[in-house]
Structure 1
Amino acid sequence: MQGRRNFLKLSAGAAVGSLAATLPGTVQAKTCNEINWDENADVIVIGSGFAGLSAAVNAKRQGLGSVLVLEKMQVIGGNSAINGGWLAIPKNPIQLAQGVNDDSPEELVKDQIISGRGMQNEPALRQIAERSLDAYDLCIDTGVKFRDGFNIQVGGHNKARAIRTQHGTGGDITTKLYETGVKEGVDHRLQHYVEDFIMDGQKIVGVKVRKNYRFPDLTTGSSIFIKANKAVILANGGFARNMALREAVDPSLDPTLDCTNALGATGEVTLTAMAYGALPVHMNLIQTGHWGSPDEGGFGWSNALLSIGWHQGVAISVLNGKRFMDERADRKTCSEAIMKNRNPDGSPAYPVVFFNYNNYAKDDRVVRALRDEMAWKVDSLDEIAAKFDIPVAELKRSITEYNKHVKDRKDPLFNRKMDTAEELTGPFVVSRIWPKVHYCMGGLKTDLGARVIDARSMAPIKNLYAIGEATGGIHGEARLSSTSCLECLVMGIVVSETIKADAQGAA
């Protein structure tokens, strides 16, 4: 039996996120028979976001035995805990109560095919959409609460199907999944960094883990070996915080862009899998969130605030006072349009988005944004022009034209859907926008059951599975808003079913 051949050795003094620290090494490994296992689990889950926690709960419910979740950071949740808590669910109860009866999983897939621009995995998208109500039921069953009556249409979707958690964060979901896992016997370990896989030919049999690891210091903690009796599930997320890897796979991506991700989104586990032959796909497709604000760091409140701005307001270039895009288009379309706004020296000319204040004065999205000064209450167009150095005459002409389009419910400039647009009269809520690196479309290739595909044989690597942002090729060039949470929760269900079927087939 061959052990950790060509495994990913992270040098002790290297900073996490450095590509030099994540290249395959040439250290001679022990064979599997020579390893003294410190402990074992039937199912090992790497990562504690939506995907990992869903997989852990569902693995217990499938009767797969002991389940161990390994999280390298000091808190549960990863990117999932800090996101906006959006979930796209066709035929969800709130949608049906609103009288939206013409939606379906197929309608969601149609929207995703458009945004994927021919690069998407349609069967995978269809599987996820068809099981979206299973994800909703999982949330309700574990105690997640959604906002009463809140179901809206978000960018790139043709129907209002996006619901949102009670507090507007993904932590509302990760907390409940974690609490449920604890009650049902899932073992969660923080500060456990996966250093290497232990392989028996084309089968994973365990992992080498640095316990008591303190991010990002690779000299902390000590190594142990954990045997995986049935499966290892990679739910480690993307690599948007790994600057060297980002540059390597997409040199065109502006390195000055801020990032919405948690600091731990550095992708070493994905690279480890690749070192053992796992097939990567679409690694150069890194999505930016067009709702980013230059006036706050990380994920922030801008995503929530602009769920109003894109629908009820308008985006204006500070360079000429004109509209420049369909505010309700998908992320890729909007991000590309926004980043064309540049000063003569090439620096960003941050566009502004504004909408009427009075209708939303008590909305928590507005209250928080104004409180944290990433948006401002401005009384008139003259004040907007003065505050953001916008040509005032052209700004006023643009808003007069826009208000006519609102009344006509037709946008001849950009063909924006105007059903939610409001005539702009002031006072206004105004924010600046600039995209942030948000989501890795690429990752490991899997089959529909979440089995990781070996590039050398194009067959599954036995007992190795991947779900969520660690996978690639599902959404294509652009992922629609509110679909990542859906994918992660659904695939946590699917992978548990796959592992059960594989275990029964091997018995």
Structure 2
Amino acid sequence: MSDRRSFLKMTASLAAGGLAVGLPVQASETKPIKWDEQVDLLVIGSGFAGQSVALNATRAGINVTVLEKMQVIGGNSAINGGWFAVPKNPVQLAQGIHDDSPAELVKDQMIAARGMGNEAMLTRLAEHALPAYNMCIDAGVQFKKDFNIQVGGHNKARAVRVEAGTGGGIVTKLCEAGKREGVDYRLQHKVEDFIMDGDEILGVVVRKGYRFPDESTGHLVNIRARKGVVLASGGFTRNMKLRAIVDPSLDPTLDCTNHLGATGEATLAAMAHGALPVHMNMIQTGHWGSPDEGGFGWSNALLSIGWHKGIAVNPTTGKRIMDERADRLTCSKAIMACRHSDNSPAYPLVFFNKNDHLGDGRVTRAVRDEMAWEVDSLEEMAKKFNVPLKDLKATVTQWNQYVAKREDPDFNRKMDTAVELKPPFVVSRVWPKVHYCMGGLKTDLDGRVINSQSLAPMKKLYAAGEVTGGVHGYARLSSCACLEGLAMGFIIPKAVQADNA
């Protein structure tokens, strides 16, 4: 399986939701591999993980080439909500919160993981949160001024957010820094297969000039990676066939927040060469999705107000359905339990006080795009969304009593940000969207991909970010995807150096 013995190459493709996966076949032992190009470290994917690995590896003296199959950089990272969990961040300290730590964050993550999280890995990631934050600051990333809040499932306010409201504010600045420091970025380079020598990766087969989703575009080249290959290619939530195989319970009608290219072909190619997959059936939904807009949209931004300042009610009963500040899995289950008698979705309503957020861009944008509405009274809300008025009024009255007492006996919600509800209101509808793959390739604590037969690390093959599995268990907490991807960028370059010493 090398240029000395045999060459695994593309001979067939499997149509799976628009992606092609190479099936390895033995080639002639006397036929050498024809390398079209040789580089040092190849990074596949240009989101949080790929950008951080590329920049930190370059700073460690490693020449880095980044391959991105799409026409633009960033992947899902560019369109995510821009939330970043950073214990001990400067804004948190300025707010007087001095009892947070990486260990506190990991404690919250392990609770959300329902016993399935990797505590050792989560600890390593949390310990690199502040260095990752400082890397962003040094690269020119703009975070919201004086902004640090507590998001779902966290016991402390530790989440900062990008000023622009999307992760694109991070990936673009890291890419600019990478270009200044010598990282070679290549768009429209789709990895078709890996070239292996046993369990050591030698290089990749790449479709150069690929135009997603047309598999006939571009041409194949073989690129050797002398120091290794880092998979930072994201998840597979847009691969409907694979989703149905690994989790047939997942409602196929659910919308998805991910970009169309999140199809997982690099993950499947690695599996074909012996990489061990874990937790593939753990696919997370974003409980802040809106049925009134497609894809990721603005609902995440709007609901950062709604979950803290407002309540969520079932339109068929007018009653609250959950702790609005719980983790994603808890909230998604509560939301999807809201059904009409014919089992069709009864989209829960989330509403908060309009006058408390006059001029807030999150509100004006949502109202403009008609995924939220302004109503002058509970009567208007009940009529517009066909909610039992008497029950809705009773719910709000009861809620306001809870606010006054600072306790929620119904769902044990933390009430520090809760406010008395009074008209006029901003109201939106919510329904979960497929959002994140907790499953993927198993790695060791340094990011080395584990072989499914030997259960030992494969040689010179690394993975970071959503392409990996077994980190977060059943539920990833909000603001931790950014943390994971950026933090691994500090860990993997050290492993690459050690493995090539």
- Aligned equivalents of 2:90, 2:287: Cα separation in 1: 29
**Is 1:35 paired with 2:33?**
yes
The one of 332, 339, 343 aligned to 1:342: 339
What residue in structure 2 maps to residue 230 of structure 1? 227
Which residue identity does 1:312 align to in structure 2? K
Q: Secondary structure at the match of 2:133?
A: helix
Q: Which residue of 1 aligns with 2:188?
A: 191
Contact 2:81 2:300 in 1 (8 A): yes
Distance 1:26 1:76, change over 3 A: closer
Code of the aligned partner of 1:51: A
Matched residue SS, 1:68 = strand
CA contact (8 A) 1:465 1:495 kept: yes
Query: Which stretch of structure 1 is more off in the superposition, 112-121 or 357-366?
Result: 357-366
Report deviation, 1:9.
Answer: 4.0
Q: Which amino acid aligns with 1:10?
A: S
> Contact 1:8 / 1:271 at 8 angstroms: preserved in 2?
no
Give the aligned residue type for 1:48. Answer: S
Range moving further from structure 2, 391-400 or 30-39: 30-39
Q: CA offset at residue 502 of structure 1? A: 1.4
Shift of 1:324: 1.1
The answer to whether the Cα contact below 8 Å between 1:10 and 1:195 also exists between their aligned partners in 2 is no
Secondary structure of 1:34's partner?
A: coil
Change (3 A) 1:31 1:193: farther
1-side partners of 2:414 and 2:58: how far apart? 45
Counterpart in the other structure of 2:499: 502
Partner of residue 61, structure 1: 59
Pick closer, same or farther for the CA change 1:291–1:396 going to 2, 3 Å.
same
Does 2:132 align with 1:103? Answer: no
Aligned match of 1:367 in 364, 369, 382?
A: 364
Partner SS state of residue 245, structure 1: helix
SS at match of 1:216: coil
- RMSD value, Cα: 1.4
Matched, 1:435 2:432: yes
Q: Which one of the candidate residues 245, 250, 264 is aligned to 1:248?
A: 245
Identity within the alignment, %: 66
Change (3 A) 1:444 1:32: farther
- Taking the TM superposition and a 5 Å limit, the aligned residue runs for 1:29-428 are 29=27, 34-64=32-62, 66-428=63-425
> Is the 2:18–2:213 contact (alpha carbons within 8 Å) kept by the matching residues of 1?
no
Structure 2 CA distance for partners of 1:125 and 1:367, relative to 1, 3 Å = same
2: CA distance, partners of 1:362 / 1:326: 27
Equivalent AA in structure 2 for residue 314 of structure 1: I
Which segments of 5 or more consecutive residues in structure 2 lack a partner in the other structure?
A: none
Q: 1:27 to 1:174 in 2, by over 3 A?
A: same
The structure-2 alpha-carbon separation of the partners of 1:26 and 1:57, relative to structure 1 and needing over 3 Å to count, comes to closer
Distance in 2 between residues matched to 1:381 and 1:142, nearest whole Å = 47
The Cα of 1:352 is off from its aligned counterpart by 0.4
Tell me the CA shift for residue 147 of structure 1.
0.7
**Post-superposition offset of 1:18:** 4.8
2:464 to 464, 467, 477: 467
Alpha-carbon contact 1:94-1:150 (below 8 Å) kept: yes
1:464 aligned counterpart, secondary structure: strand
Q: Unpaired segments of 5 or more residues in structure 1?
A: none
Indicate how the Cα distance of structure 1 residues 9 and 471 shifts in structure 2: closer, same or farther if over 3 A, else same.
Answer: farther
1:58-101 Cα shifts (integer Å, max 9, x gaps): 1100112x211000000000000001110000010000111111
Stretch of structure 1 that moved more, 449-458 or 362-371:
362-371
- For residues 229-255 of structure 1, what are the alpha-carbon distances to aligned partners after superposition, in whole Å with 9 as ceiling and x for unaligned? 101000000000000000000000000
> Residues of 2 paired with 1:33 and 1:201: CA distance?
17
Instruction: Indicate the larger mover: 355-364 or 285-294.
Output: 355-364
Letter in 2 for 1:56: A
**Partners of 1:322 and 1:104 in 2: CA distance:** 37
TM-score by length of 1: 0.96
Aligned-partner residue type, residue 268 of structure 1: E
Q: Distance in 1 between matches of 2:383 and 2:351?
A: 15
Q: Deviations over 1:430-468 (max 9, x none)?
A: 000000000000000000000000011111110000000
- Structure 1 distance, partners of 2:24, 2:259, is 31
Shift in CA distance, 103/380, structure 1 to aligned 2, threshold 3 Å? same
TM-score by structure 2 length? Answer: 0.97
Structure-2 separation of matches of 1:433 and 1:169: 20
Separation in 1 of the partners of 2:222 and 2:98? 52
C-alpha displacement of 1:498: 1.0
CA contact (8 A) 2:208 2:218 kept: yes
Q: Which amino acid aligns with 1:355?
A: F
* Distance in 2 (alpha carbons) for counterparts of 1:502 and 1:243: 37
Question: Do the aligned partners of 1:18 and 1:243 also contact (CA within 8 Å) in 2?
Answer: no
Q: Contact between 2:279 and 2:469, CA under 8 Å: does it hold in 1? A: yes
Q: CA deviation at 1:26?
A: 5.7
- Kindly state the Cα deviation for residue 225 of structure 1 after the two structures are TM-superposed: 0.7
The CA deviation string for residues 113-163 of structure 1, in whole angstroms up to 9 with x for no partner, is 100000000000001111110110110111111111110000000000000
CA gap 1:253/1:79 in 2 versus in 1, 3 angstroms: same
Secondary structure of 1:129's counterpart equals helix
**2:17 alignment counterpart:** 17
**How far 1:32 sits from its partner (Å)?**
9.4
CA, structure 1 residues 38+188, in 2 after alignment: closer, same or farther (shift >3 Å)?
same
Cα offset, 1:398, TM superposition: 0.5
- Residue 8 of structure 1 and its aligned partner are, at CA, apart by 8.2
Change (3 A) 1:197 1:79: same
